């Protein structure tokens, strides 16, 4: 865990919290600490409700029309506009506070966000041995007594100096090797790639370019495409295993992400598959994502100043549909019962053959996959989190448009996929949106007044609510009694925020006046229903996997949350609504982007490349589509947190703070 | 050896000879038997000199203006226009004959032409196991309980039913496999290819197509491109090993040959390499030969009625320059000291990638090569003739534009190449031409009158003289004393046929009146010089190879002549001029086209494919370019038959029929 840089004590409750980022706003510090400060404008200074008094310590703050000159002199500041620059003592004045005794019980929740780097420690015996590497050779020029062929000369040197043998050669390279060797005066750098059939010589460059060996790894998500540029030089790779002061990996040179342009043909994999069956649809989808990756390549090269010619390898992890669409392979049967992908492993293909703007020799390694709905991204996540190497029992959950779940250890792995629905990505929710600027990401609700405190991404006026914000809001509404366990609003609370509009019930989260031109931002009973179905499917899926091996949540040694989404949800809130099981908090772990994590390992280690194949072979897929037991579990989970309240004793205490009821 | 179909007795010398082809002309029968009949028009009936009298037996003959009605009634016929249709007794009248006592000693020469089929017996342990084969599979359709990927399903069946494992897959196939399997109702035929890295799945077809599995093999010569279409079905392949009544192989479905269109850019490999360095030259050369092969493919499919889609494989054997040009690989350094090819083995490449009109899945296997001037055609010949399997010692000579020579057995192989010059292919010879219609292919010269008897290919009016004709003519001129051992004409013989024209001496072979509009056809001293250099280089090359292992011609167990050229030369004539050594005649063997022979073996046997690689690795190349010993041997061989007359005792007897001289 990182060290705190400052501490802030909130008075009069005397709650002291650690601050990990210099310049963090006081509002976020308070929210993270569970200290309630009224605020409904998302943190952009317009509502003026989050007044605090800075008693002691260094802050940077902006004046506001909501503060009089007299108040400014007295130390009043808006918490949302005030940055923590040193240790502070801050008083929350009566108008901004409520009695937060009820909230105290909920403080201390840690996010348990693990840096990807830390995960290197999860994977055992990672020897640095990249799948693509370079060797500098100084060849003796041919003479009448030694007039071996050019390729033979290269191979002889690889054998003599490096003990390498049985290397195959890319045909296209042979068309230019003769002149190249002579122009380079027989001093060249060769690029070798390890693939399932052995070693292959893919490039020869003049001079010594061993210092320029780079890989691009890509996570092709249904919604987002992310890329990283990695330095494969051995020294850099070795450094990655060491402690870094910096947040960035020593070998991570650049990062970029874009929305998947396929979105214009459909939000989810099913609608994309439908589109692929129309006329030129398959080609359109392929070109869309290839275009995105080309943009990412350009951005990564631009950021790092690295030449395209020095790229040696590309690794792609994506779900099954994304993988097939990228490769131009008809995904039709992925969505037709019995849901069959074309292959579990696609042979490496040259990037330029599918339209990627890469040097001729760069091959695309796509992660092996398990089934139509447990794809290469999940195999990458399992690889990256080291589950397949450990004896203890891990449950791995990746929540995105779908929820993929894996259970197992070094001896066995079972997996499944639930059609979770896109609630967590803003889909099917009236004011849902993706986690971008203006999205409400944190919500607190005053249990007495039922007034909310919201923080948006970027501290902007609210535009809508993202997945983590929805979970936060629903958890708050459940705890405060605004929502009943059956997912209906409590209509007798006497607050105007719970209201009926056009025959449907809703909770007013942000009135139009404080929102960013989108009218009232509300959470409807329809939204609740959607969220409950989504969380219910995931929870039920976990139960089915455990049941398939005769186990329960209690027997888990670890529960790993993967996916971009996992980085933003508050663990305890996810447990509160019954998305995650109530198990000891220290068993949870967030791994961030498992796909990129696995892709990086495969870039750095041939052993890991072999393991990726082994992991995909090990994984037994359980189909939930026609599974009656799943239906039972699913129905039982359509409650907040669950019909089986015994499984959520701590959550039940929050919901019923008065033990008498 | 085939059985004779008829016998012809020539009177008055009472020489009886066997006739192997029903309908052969009497002139050819006489020529083959060494019975001299005057004839100078090439055998087309215009000179009228070859009059004979058919005493008994069945002939088919055409009347001629050269024969009076009276002569016709008496049984006179022109030998060149008369076909042997039964056993005959024929009298050669005084005006057509000479006293051929001197020739009798030279009769009985056998051609020792071995059918390619017979060579199967030369290669040991040929198991029929084609590099490309088909298997019919009936797959269980996927179900919810068995929803393996499509490729996984195929592979499972290949393992279950056929014990095949570790098969890689062509990426392009994956883009269409899903729909194909379903359209075929899961009943498909797979095509597998064996390559150096193991098995590869290259095609899937609906239904059972195992009966349609064909290979094309190509000999890419500098002058000629030849192709054969082979049936790879097991039953057919097996039949090929058995005795066939037919001359054709059971698995040989069609044959075609064309001149290599690269000829327009240069006659020999050197001039082609020069052209490849000019502007778009390399691409022009590649496209030229690819065009030729495409024409051959079209012809083979047309002849056989086989669909292009049923082609599974292509094997190509060619010299190093031809191989590199076909693959589009710059041959520049092949002709620059120290003469280095780009590679000794080129990985299989998809035919369509180099412009061949083949189905997408068909790969091109090119024979491994040894050096810049000992190419894949020679490796194919060594493979096909089984030398690499035998303990006894074989010398292998392939005479074309270059002369390639290999010496060895199952333990070692040494090889070299002599810049023989194109004399045998018509190049550098004043009236030289390729072995096509109108080329003089056989010559006899009356030792008393020095008048020639010539036969042309196709019995046409003579257009020029081809390689075998030149050897025949020079041998005759040497024996009759027209040419001295030093390659100069004997200017004191008192015949007008030896004459000086524009300061150069020549022998008039066919006067303009009897030639086909090309003026007088002569053999010049320059032609003799050219031929002597060519034969001298080959003989000296053989000597150097033998010397390199401390051996002599006497220790050879076998001498194999390969190349199209080998099929047409008369063995004893080649010995007479000193092209071949004087060793017992039964040690000679002609194998015809060694390149196609080896290509066929590789098509039929994976073991042979491995052996091809092994043979090319085994062969030690000896460069003659700067070899001083070679220069000595070469100079010694610039004589007819040789400066060392002791090495040619029988030839010397012919040249000096009078033991007294």
Strand-by-strand arrangement of the A558-562 sheet = A588-592, A558-562, A394-399, A403-408, A413-418, A619-621
Domain limit, last residue, from B166, B191, B206: B206
Query: What are the chain B neighbours of A623 within 8 Å (beta carbons)?
Result: 144, 147
If you measure CA to CA, which chain B residue comes closest to A625? Answer: B144
As a residue count, chain B comes to 661
Q: In A, residues 545-574, which contact B (CB 8 Å cutoff)?
A: none
Domain limit, last residue, from A531, A553, A577: A531
pLDDT at B656: 63
pLDDT > 80? residue B95: no
CA distance B500 to A435: 101
**Would the CA dihedral through B568, B573, B577, B582 be positive or negative?**
positive
Q: Does B329 touch chain A (CB under 8 A)?
A: yes
Q: What share of chain B has pLDDT > 70, as a percent?
A: 89
Residues A525 and A544 both lie in one domain:
no
pLDDT at B115: 38
Residues A407 and A433 both lie in one domain:
no
For A138-157, b where at least 16 C-beta lie within 10 A, e where not — what string?
A: ebeebeeeebbbbbbbbbeb
Provide the shortest C-alpha distance from residue B627 to chain A (in Å): 10
Domain assignment present for A634: yes
Of B174, B332, B346, the CB nearest to A174: B346
Mean pLDDT of A329-333: 95
pLDDT at B235: 46
CA distance B285 to B413: 32
pLDDT > 80? residue A103: no
pLDDT > 90? residue A594: no
ipTM greater than cut 0.90: no
Q: In B, residues 609-628, which contact A (CB 8 Å cutoff)?
A: 621, 623, 625-626
Strand locations in A320-476 (E): 349-350, 363-366, 394-399, 403-408, 413-418, 439-445, 452-456, 464-465
**Would the CA dihedral through A624, A626, A627, A630 be positive or negative?**
positive
Q: Which range among A97-106, A441-450, B335-344, B441-450 shows the weakest confidence by mean pLDDT?
A: A97-106
Domain assignment present for B36: yes
pLDDT digits 0-9 by tens, B161-188? 999 998 999 899 999 999 999 999 999 9
Q: Own/partner pairs for A120-126, CB < 8 Å, 24+ apart?
A: A120/A240, A120/A241, A122/A384, A122/A385, A122/A386, A123/A383, A123/A384, A123/A385, A123/A386, A123/A389, A123/A601, A123/A608, A124/A386, A124/A389, A125/A389, A125/A607, A126/A241, A126/A601, A126/A604, A126/A605, A126/A607, A126/A608
* CATH number for A88: 3.10.20.30
Residues A438 and A407 both lie in one domain:
no
pLDDT > 70? residue A117: no
What pTM was computed for the model?
Answer: 0.80
Residues A407 and A539 both lie in one domain:
yes
Contact B329 A175 (CB under 8 A): yes
pLDDT > 90? residue A453: no
Provide the shortest C-alpha distance from residue A175 to chain B (in Å): 4
CB of B479 within 8 A of CB of B655? yes
Domain assignment present for B156: yes
Domain assignment present for B255: no
Mean pLDDT of B141-149: 91
pLDDT at B604: 87
Q: How many CB pairs under 8 A join A and B?
A: 137
pLDDT > 80? residue B450: yes
Query: What are the chain A neighbours of B170 within 8 Å (beta carbons)?
Result: 347
Give strand pairing partners of B225.
B220, B258
pLDDT digits 0-9 by tens, A605-644? 888 999 999 999 999 999 887 889 999 999 999 999 999 9
Contact B144 A625 (CB under 8 A): yes
Domain assignment present for A88: yes
Of B151, B197, B343, the CB nearest to A198: B197
Identify the band that residue A542 occupies on the pLDDT scale cut at 50, 70 and 90. very high
Mean pLDDT of B54-71: 88
pLDDT > 60? residue B102: no
Query: What are the chain B neighbours of A197 within 8 Å (beta carbons)?
Result: 168, 197-198
pLDDT digits 0-9 by tens, B261-271? 998 898 889 99
Contact A332 B170 (CB under 8 A): no
Identify the band that residue A119 occupies on the pLDDT scale cut at 50, 70 and 90. very low
Domain assignment present for A326: no
pLDDT > 70? residue B282: yes
Identify the band that residue A565 occupies on the pLDDT scale cut at 50, 70 and 90. low
Identify the band that residue A412 occupies on the pLDDT scale cut at 50, 70 and 90. very high
Mean pLDDT of B25-33: 82
Of A153, A196, A621, the CB nearest to B168: A196
Radius of gyration of chain A measured on its C-alpha atoms: 28
Would you tell me how many other CB atoms lie within 10 Å of the CB of residue A474? Answer: 26
CB of A605 within 8 A of CB of A241? no
Provide the shortest C-alpha distance from residue A339 to chain B (in Å): 7
The H or E element containing residue B17 is strand B15-19
Provide the shortest C-alpha distance from residue B351 to chain A (in Å): 12
pLDDT at A297: 97
Give strand pairing partners of A404.
A398, A417
Query: What are the chain A neighbours of B346 within 8 Å (beta carbons)?
Result: 171, 174
Residues B415 and B554 both lie in one domain:
yes
Contact A169 B197 (CB under 8 A): no
Residues A83 and A141 both lie in one domain:
no
Residues A83 and A39 both lie in one domain:
yes
Domain assignment present for B372: no
The more confident residue out of B4 and A161 is A161
Q: In A, residues 240-279, which contact B (CB 8 Å cutoff)?
A: none
Residues B556 and B641 both lie in one domain:
yes
Locate A80 and state its tokens.
Answer: 């949302």
If you measure CA to CA, which chain A residue comes closest to B197? Answer: A197
Average pLDDT, chain B: 87
CA distance B627 to B544: 9
pLDDT > 70? residue A432: yes
Contact B330 A179 (CB under 8 A): yes
Residues B527 and B427 both lie in one domain:
yes
pLDDT at A100: 36
Residues A137 and A75 both lie in one domain:
no
Among residues A623, A598, A622, A621, the alpha carbon closest in space to that of A389 is found at A598
Query: What are the chain A neighbours of B142 within 8 Å (beta carbons)?
Result: 338, 340
Residues A400 and A544 both lie in one domain:
yes
**Would the CA dihedral through A576, A581, A582, A588 be positive or negative?**
negative
Mean pLDDT of A488-506: 92
Q: Does B328 touch chain A (CB under 8 A)?
A: yes
Domain limit, last residue, from A144, A171, A206: A206
* CATH number for B160: 3.10.20.880
CA distance A294 to A218: 11
Query: What are the chain A neighbours of B622 within 8 Å (beta carbons)?
Result: none
Residues B154 and B92 both lie in one domain:
no
Query: What are the chain A neighbours of B150 within 8 Å (beta carbons)?
Result: 333, 340-343
Q: Does A168 touch chain B (CB under 8 A)?
A: yes
Chain A contact probe: residue of B343, B344, B346 with most A CBs at under 10 A: B343
Domain assignment present for B628: yes
Mean pLDDT of A517-530: 93
Identify the band that residue A116 occupies on the pLDDT scale cut at 50, 70 and 90. very low
Provide the shortest C-alpha distance from residue B343 to chain A (in Å): 5
Q: Does A328 touch chain B (CB under 8 A)?
A: yes
pLDDT at A317: 97
For residue B590, what are the domain limits? Answer: 383-420+550-655
pLDDT > 80? residue A248: no
Q: Provide the domain count of chain B.
A: 4
């Amino acid at each position: 865990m990182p060290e705190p840089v400052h501490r802030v004590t909130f008075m009069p409750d005397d709650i002291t919290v650690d601050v990990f980022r210099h310049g963090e706003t006081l509002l976020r510090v308070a929210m993270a600490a569970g200290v309630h400060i009224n605020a409904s404008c998302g943190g952009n200074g317009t509502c003026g409700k989050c007044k605090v008094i800075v008693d002691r310590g260094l802050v940077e703050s902006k004046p506001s029309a909501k503060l009089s000159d007299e108040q400014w002199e007295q130390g009043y500041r808006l918490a949302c506009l005030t940055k923590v620059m040193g240790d502070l003592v801050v008083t929350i004045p009566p108008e901004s506070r409520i009695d937060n005794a009820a909230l105290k019980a909920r403080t201390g929740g840690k996010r348990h966000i693990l840096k990807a780097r830390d995960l290197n420690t999860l994977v055992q015996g990672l020897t640095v041995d990249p799948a693509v590497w370079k060797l500098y050779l100084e060849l003796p020029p041919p003479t009448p007594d030694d007039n071996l062929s050019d390729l033979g000369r290269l191979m002889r040197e690889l054998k003599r100096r490096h003990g390498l043998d049985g290397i195959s050669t890319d045909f296209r390279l042979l068309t230019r090797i003769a002149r190249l060797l002579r122009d380079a005066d027989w001093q060249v750098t060769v690029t070798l790639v390890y693939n399932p059939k052995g070693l292959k010589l893919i490039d020869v460059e003049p001079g010594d370019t061993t210092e320029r060996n780079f890989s691009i790894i890509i996570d092709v998500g249904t919604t987002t495409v992310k890329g990283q540029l990695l330095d494969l030089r051995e020294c850099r790779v070795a450094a990655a295993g060491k402690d870094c002061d910096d947040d960035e990996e020593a070998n991570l040179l650049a990062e970029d992400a874009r929305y998947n342009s396929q979105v214009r043909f459909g939000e989810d994999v099913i609608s994309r598959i439908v589109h692929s069956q129309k006329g030129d649809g398959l080609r359109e989808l392929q070109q869309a994502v290839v275009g995105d990756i080309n943009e990412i390549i350009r951005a990564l090269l631009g950021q790092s100043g690295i030449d395209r010619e020095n790229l040696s390898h590309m690794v792609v992890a994506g779900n099954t549909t994304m993988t097939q669409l990228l490769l131009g392979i008809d995904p039709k049967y992925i969505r037709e019962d019995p849901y069959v992908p074309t292959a579990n492993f696609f042979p490496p293909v040259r990037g330029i053959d599918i339209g990627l703007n890469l040097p001729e020799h760069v091959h695309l390694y796509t992660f092996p996959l398990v089934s139509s709905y447990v794809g290469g991204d999940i195999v990458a996540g399992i690889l990256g989190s080291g589950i397949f190497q450990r004896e203890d029992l891990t449950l791995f959950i990746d929540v995105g448009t779908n929820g993929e779940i894996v259970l197992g250890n070094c001896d066995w792995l079972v997996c499944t996929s639930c059609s979770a629905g896109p609630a967590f990505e803003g889909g099917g929710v009236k004011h849902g949106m993706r986690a971008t600027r203006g999205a409400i990401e944190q919500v607190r609700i005053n249990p007495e007044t039922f007034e909310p405190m919201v923080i948006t991404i970027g501290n902007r006026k609210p535009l809508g609510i993202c997945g983590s914000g929805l979970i936060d809001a629903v958890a708050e509404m459940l705890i405060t009694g605004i929502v009943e366990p059956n997912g209906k609003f409590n209509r007798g609370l006497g607050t105007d925020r719970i209201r009926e509009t056009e025959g449907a019930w809703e909770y007013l989260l942000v009135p139009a006046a404080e929102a960013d031109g989108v009218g009232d931002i509300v959470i409807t009973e329809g939204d609740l229903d959607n969220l409950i179905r989504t969380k219910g499917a995931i929870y039920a899926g976990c139960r089915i996997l455990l049941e398939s091996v005769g186990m329960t949540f209690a027997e888990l040694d670890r529960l790993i949350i993967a996916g971009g989404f996992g980085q933003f949800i508050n663990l305890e809130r996810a447990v509160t609504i019954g998305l995650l099981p109530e198990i000891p908090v220290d068993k949870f772990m967030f791994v961030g982007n498992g796909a990129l994590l696995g892709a990086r390992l495969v870039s750095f280690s041939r052993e890991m490349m072999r393991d990726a194949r082994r992991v995909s072979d090990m994984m037994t897929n359980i189909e939930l589509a026609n599974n009656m037991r799943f239906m039972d579990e699913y129905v039982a989970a359509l409650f907040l947190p669950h019909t089986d309240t015994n499984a959520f004793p701590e959550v039940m205490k929050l919901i019923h703070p008065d033990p008498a009821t």
